Chain A
């Protein structure tokens, strides 16, 4: 599988989001940024496939839709 999956894939989106917010609870902005960086590296390692990661980087970096 070398395609980036951009379809729904989370079993419990609300539960995941609540857990994500919970790990940031009480952290400073710098601590949260560091946590996010670690999280990205952990998930990237889990994914492993270079093509998928390259595609994800492009999607995340697409500035054309972000609010100013």
Chain B
């Protein structure tokens, strides 16, 4: 059977741009058709911004790669029109089990809170997510939205100018040139854009190798995340087993630093390792094997004039915690409404500097969490191994030690505390929905709060009077009037002990400001601030 990752989904086709006398200029060009680049393209196209995606390949990536997609990503995918297809295909899981040496030391349940549309996590091979995103791009193009992917278009050189970027592109039929008013580089951890621009990418290298295998098997392991510290089948190292759709299981085996990477990838090495882990009698087929090393690092800044970096091109984390693809999609979610607003003249370029502040903040939080997990999983000194093993030993007997066990702190969205776009926060309202926080979902009858928000700014008015329509700072604000009586989830997440509240919500569903009652001047000031407009003034 031909696998999805063996099929060209956007094969090379000659474009009239290649025969143009002078290089055509596009509004936005995105480099890289991975999950991050595709998410950015869909978001912009849905906002009416013309976008061209260039990728040197013509198909989705091979192997499972990023497999774990968090609730926040699923909520973003809902806005991109891919939420249902991802959740329907994905495997929803909540339970995990931790092993140490030969012992099953404890189990945990992520116990997802009720009253949210999306689960805490799904497992889904990256190639499926990319396939769904490509199909969404194609559906938007068929509807007449200004979006296209050009396969086997490799950028060879980048020229930066004050009002555009010039691209030299190589294709199977020779080179051509394009201009882009804005360039979004989503071209991965080894970003050619970053290299061509000679930009820094600093941080820590971890001296370790991990074997990843996608194994097809009919096994009766439960749908749980299993993590081993120092198991008999991989002495002194760690191991991870995770279920994916189609009876594909993902196995990560830590190998240590000093290994022959080519030899370790060969089936005659891999299969005995897997048999030792799974049992001699389990029948399986290897779908994909890779060896990875990782670094925790980021660029000093993500915006360089008209070139903006997102995803692994801008920041890299260790894989423990599923913070790579999830944070990359949050980058695009943060960027695209801002870029669309700048392009339509509703905000100045200053708004894009907040992308830099907010996503650098997010990257630092992800790097901190994934670095801590890495240090727990692979202790770097004798004393850190002593403590690590003491924690695991105590965790088998005592609940108190379990929060110290760190096999990855799974991705949750960051809260932009003290972010440049935040204003008034009424601290008497619930902490979790404070200014800078992503909006917690809540049921609304048979529907969900997040699905009821507008594509631009939304004002939530809960049990308090407010105008039916709102136009401020040059923007139409969607007004959503809600009643928290008979809706305990909404009341708990948005009101706390207060009888009423007003929330100003950004297009990316982060809270910009909140009050206990409506005040037009306060809302207008907060809206101006959240689009980086000088207070009380006009864009200049």
Contact = CB atoms under 8 A, between A and B. Distances in A.
B393 A67 contact: yes
A66 interface: yes
A11 to B, nearest CB: 10
Most buried by B among A9, A16, A32, A62: A32
A6 B400 contact: yes
A65 B401 CA distance: 14
Contacts of B160: none
A66 B393 contact: yes
B372 A14 contact: yes
Name the prevailing secondary structure of the B interface residues: helix
Contact of A67 (B101, B375, B382, B387): B101
A61 interface: no
B406 interface: yes
A1 interface: no
Contacts of A58: none
Interface in A5-60: 5-10, 13-14, 16-18, 20-21, 24, 27, 29, 32, 36, 59
Name the prevailing secondary structure of the A interface residues: helix
B399 interface: yes
A5 B400 contact: yes
Interface residues of A, number: 23
B396 to A, nearest CB: 6
Contacts of B402: 8
B283 to A, nearest CB: 32
A17 B399 contact: no
A6 B398 contact: yes
A21 B381 CA distance: 10
B515 to A, nearest CB: 29
A7 B400 contact: yes
Interface of A: 5-10, 13-14, 16-18, 20-21, 24, 27, 29, 32, 36, 59, 62, 65-67
Closest 10 CB pairs of A and B: A32-B383, A13-B403, A6-B398, A67-B101, A13-B404, A24-B383, A8-B400, A6-B400, A14-B372, A18-B372
Interface of B: 100-101, 230, 369, 372, 375-376, 381-384, 387, 389, 391, 393, 396-400, 402-404, 406, 409
Given A6-B399, A8-B403, A18-B375, 5 more contacts: A10-B400, A14-B372, A14-B406, A24-B383, A62-B397
25 contacts: A5-B400, A6-B399, A6-B400, A7-B399, A8-B399, A8-B402, A9-B400, A10-B400, A14-B404, A16-B404, A17-B372, A17-B387, A18-B375, A20-B387, A21-B384, A24-B383, A24-B384, A29-B382, A29-B383, A32-B381, A59-B397, A59-B398, A65-B396, A67-B230, A67-B393
